[in-house]
Amino acid sequence: MRAAAVQLNSTEDIDRNLATADRLVREAAGRGAQLVVLPEKWSVLGTAEQMTAGAEPLDGACITWARSAARELGIDLVAGSIAEKLEGRTKTANTSVHVGPDGELRAVYRKIHMFDVEVDGVQYAESATEEAGDESVVSELADGILIGLTICYDVRFPELYGILSARGAEVIAVPAAFTLATTRDHWEVLLRARAIENQCFVVAANQVGAHPPGHRAGGRSMIVDPWGLVLALAPDSETVIVTDLDFAALRDIRQRLPSLAHRRDDVRDPTAAL
Active site residues: 40, 111, 152
Q: How far apart are CA 50 and CA 211, in angstroms?
A: 11
Q: How far apart are CA 133 and CA 151, in angstroms?
A: 11
Of 52, 213, 56, which Cα lies nearest the Cα of 129?
A: 52
Those residues with Cβ within 8 angstroms of residue 264's Cβ, 6 or more apart along the chain or in another chain = none
Cis amide leading into 235 (omega within 30) = no
Asked if residues 97 and 58 have their Cβ atoms less than 8 Å apart, the reply is: yes
Cα distance between the two ends of the chain: 43
Asked if residues 202 and 210 have their Cβ atoms less than 8 Å apart, the reply is: no
